[in-house]
Amino acid sequence: MQITQDGQIIRVPEGIISALARNGMDTETKQEMQPPLHRDVWYATEAYQGDGDPKGLQAEYLAEQIARSSPSFGTTPRERAARWLGAVGAKQISGEPDEAARRAALKKLGKKARRARNPRHARRARELIRLFEESRQLCGDGSRVVDLDSFAEVRIVGDLHGGWRSVKRITGEIGSRGQDSALVYLGDFPNNGFQSAAVLRHVLIQHINDPNRVFLLAGNHETAETLATAIKEMFKTHWDHALKLRKRQFPPKRCYGHLLLDLIGDFGYDLGTEVYEAFAVWAAHLPCAARFGKTLMSHSLGLPESYEAGTLIHSIPSDEGDLRRLGYEEWKRRKSTLRAAMVNTRDFREAGLIDKLKTAFDVERFVVGHSHYRSGVVLSVSGSDIVTVCSSDSTSPDAGHYMAWEYEHERGRLGPGEGLGSGPARPVYLKVYKNGSFELVRVPAASWLSVAGALLRRCWGLRDR
């Protein structure tokens, strides 16, 4: 199989051809890419070698990019996307419990993907694109480790995961802050919950209105994911979690929210993917660490294998090119860059890691998100305090089932072995003071009135801004 664009022709490697064929694409004819592939995707396809992709994750990613640009797979980009969604989804749900319900939800999503745009929501989409661009410009290239030493205190909000009501309650609890108080978000704004766009809009406006006191850090969900990854998360991983938790208050199709699929559903394919691309560019320019005295704040803690022990780290460069070439799944698996290791590593208790990080950043203690089941706990590793902060309330009507799975199931399974106790994890935010002391604050619980209102809005098909 050959593909061509801008007068260039390359022969598609066998691993990518296999991935295309498995999802129903004709691999016998030459394909003209319309619209053209991103240059990083083009070069990655040309240089692809199966030996460096043992799980086939990069091949699946590159195959999706080719299919969504191939006229033989559909007459329009949205038709190709809908067809790819159907093919990938059918493989994920085949033989699973609730297969009929999953298939019906997938079919409904395919119909939404075939819409070009939803004129009723075009203004909101354009506003999001503008906010992403304004915030990106304030972030610069995103490589700096944010220095907060000029402040007297820092308030830290952990993973929000589309929990719009959680962020509203936290904002109300924190209230007005003095000029010597900074607010830091540890990333993971979208996905899992059902109001990712509303959460992003809220934190973007906060950052734009007060860029010198509000700081947004990147998490592992501040990355461009593919349709295939979103479908797997929604129709396989988290649907299964919901069945195991037996939390069936809401329709199974609402077990999980994903920003890309939500944007396509709200705005139509053309406008929804335009907003998602603006999100991806913004996310690639977010810093992923901040330092306040001897405290390091980041989404997680990790170092790539290439790190030389004893080297001081003053910046964490963006690895947008790696993400574009490898795709989210393979980029996450390799953790070959400092940024990828810092936002994806889940087990930071490996021998010597914390000692290396203390030297690399010249710190003594750490505040992280990511490991939701540890939320609200202070761990001691290599003589250093590590505080895990996640701020999405799993009991909120906005929350998907992932937070409940992590807070309850994973805490019960992993917590006793780590000395965390057997009770559920707590959604919290954190106050850190100049002298190094800190205070964990429980995220206020949702009132019955707000829960009832959210359920009514969901029945009427309404979304928060």
pLDDT in tens, 118-144: 777 889 999 999 999 999 999 988 889
Residue 254, pLDDT > 80, answer: no
Cβ atoms of residues 200 and 166 within 8 Å: no
Residues 167-207: pLDDT tens digits? 988 888 887 777 899 999 999 999 999 999 999 999 999 99
pLDDT score of 55? 95
pLDDT score of 98? 84
Least confident of 12-21, 87-96, 323-332, 402-411: 402-411
Cβ atoms of residues 196 and 279 within 8 Å: no
**C-alpha–C-alpha distance, residues 452 and 462, integer Å:** 14
pLDDT score of 405? 84
Over residues 136-160, mean pLDDT: 93
Least confident of 24-28, 151-155, 173-177, 248-252: 248-252
Residue 432, pLDDT > 60, answer: yes
Residue 23, pLDDT > 60, answer: yes
- Domain 121-459: which topology? Purple Acid Phosphatase; chain A, domain 2 (3.60.21)
On the 0-12 / 13-18 / 19+ scale of CB atoms within 10 A, 341 is buried
Residue 245, pLDDT > 80, answer: no
Average pLDDT value over all residues in the chain: 89
Residues 351-386: pLDDT tens digits? 899 999 999 999 999 999 999 999 999 999 999 999
pLDDT score of 436? 86
Is this structure's pTM higher than 0.75? yes
Over residues 214-220, mean pLDDT: 96
462: confidence class by pLDDT, cuts 50, 70, 90? low
Break the chain into its structural domains and give their ranges.
2-110, 121-459
